Amino acid sequence: MSHFELYDDENTLLMIPGPVFLHPKVQRILSRPIFGHRTNHFRGILAECEEMLKGVFGTNGTVFMLTGSGTSAMDAAVRTFISPKEKVVSFIGGKFGERFADIAQSAGANVIRVNVEWGKAIKPDLVKKVLEEHPDAKAVTITHNETSTGVLHPLPEIAKVVKKYDAYLIVDGITSVGGDYVKMDEWGVDVMVSGSQKCLGIPPGLGFVAISTELESVLEKMEKKNSYYLDLKTYYKYWKKKGDLPFTGSVTLFYALYESLKMIFAEGLEARIQRHRKMARAMRKGFTDLGFELFAEKGYESNTLTAVKYLPGMSDNEFRTRMQKHGVLIAGGQAHLAGKIFRVAHMNMTGEREVLTVLAVAELVMHEMGVKPKGSGVKGAISEILRE
């Protein structure tokens, strides 16, 4: 007898912090026949994608498009603008802030690691204090929206502080770009990276590095090379000369990116951000009404994913396994947070249907586990959705 599951891996609501579920238009475009990557047709798609990405990043500077994950973009940013032995101050409040520090270390930088308790926000006063102690820092790395903790760090205020010191501000915007406010030029961010499978709404496989116009002149004068495939000077040269990529781009993913970016601007960037924020408020209200506590410091909660503390005695494995059995896939905690929190994303195409489904299934699973909900998560979320 064959095994049957109503909700299998093709029929599960994907609510993890990437990859996200795709809009059917994007899904369909992935089956489009591949065309040559050294053609005017493909260069035209690249040019339009870069122009739209500038709007999403909030910059007039160049946006480099790499075939690789978001981590490749982090690697490219570090290896291009930081030389071995130069000092890098890495602010770490979660797994991905830690990753930036590890990349800088692997590139031979002198890394000063500044650890903040996971779940807490990195505050401007701390950044000021550390930079006063390390005025010779070449760069500062920080995560805007920390995916492992559900914390949105106050980047505009942090950027103001860093601007007073002669250091590059290199930011991981992998789960904020396309889903929340990102204003590189206005805030004074030098470099920001992102990835394709989060708020930009396509499969994994593309990484993006946006740089300020000031850094373009720095790039032009650079002679050193700390990487081959990820050297942005090479990308810059090809882009300015030919409007092309130096290496083979993932043609299919660029088709998908083009389609998704058009949808983002059809909705309107401001409307999209406000939708993400409303769905985030609804998700937070729903889980707190069920009786859970949020993991992120109050006032610094992410608008693209929510991290939730388990109630005493609740099994992470059982909760998430039961959620998946009912057709909803959510994520657990990372590193020392494994088993202590779960994470639910609300990015890209997430709307009322997805939020209410997650909360209803979570309430069902609580009953199955013998955990009595404090109240109705669905009712709480609806009240937030209807709020003007």
pLDDT in tens, 190-246: 999 999 999 999 999 999 999 999 999 999 999 878 899 999 999 999 999 999 999
Span between the terminal Cα atoms of the chain, in Å: 53
Closest CA to 20 of 264, 283, 204: 204
pLDDT number for residue 2: 66
- Per-domain residue ranges for the chain? 13-20+268-386, 34-265
Work out the burial of residue 370: count CB atoms within 10 Å of its CB; fewer than 13 is exposed, 13-18 middle, 19 or more buried.
Answer: exposed
Common-topology check for domains 13-20+268-386 and 34-265: no
Please, are residues 52 and 227 in contact by the beta-carbon 8 Å criterion? no
Pairing of strands 206-211, 191-195: antiparallel
Pick the CATH number of 34-265 from 3.40.190.10, 3.40.640.10, 3.90.330.10, 3.10.450.50: 3.40.640.10
pLDDT number for residue 1: 53
- Sheet with 206-211: list strands edge to edge: 63-67, 206-211, 191-195, 168-172, 139-143, 87-92, 110-115
Strands (E), 259-318: 293-294, 305-309
Please, are residues 348 and 201 in contact by the beta-carbon 8 Å criterion? yes
pLDDT in tens, 139-155: 999 999 999 999 999 99
Pairing of strands 63-67, 206-211: antiparallel
Secondary structure element (H or E) that encloses residue 191, with its range: strand 191-195
Residue 72 to residue 70: CA distance in whole angstroms? 5
Task: Give the 3-state secondary structure of residue 137.
Answer: coil
Compute the half-sphere exposure of residue 295: CA atoms within 13 Å on the CB side of its CA: 31
pLDDT number for residue 98: 98
Secondary structure element (H or E) that encloses residue 66, with its range: strand 63-67
Paired strand residues for 113: 90
pLDDT number for residue 223: 85
Pick the CATH number of 13-20+268-386 from 3.90.1150.10, 2.40.128.20, 3.10.180.10, 1.10.260.40: 3.90.1150.10
Residue 325 to residue 339: CA distance in whole angstroms? 19
Pairing of strands 191-195, 168-172: parallel
Q: What is the dihedral of CA 347, 350, 356, 360, to 10 degrees?
A: -60
pLDDT number for residue 3: 80
Cβ neighbours around 6 below 10 Å, total: 9
Closest CA to 24 of 348, 388, 281, 291: 348
Whole-model pTM: value is 0.96
pLDDT number for residue 225: 81
Sign of CA dihedral 285, 157, 169, 253: positive
**Residues of the chain predicted below pLDDT 50:** none
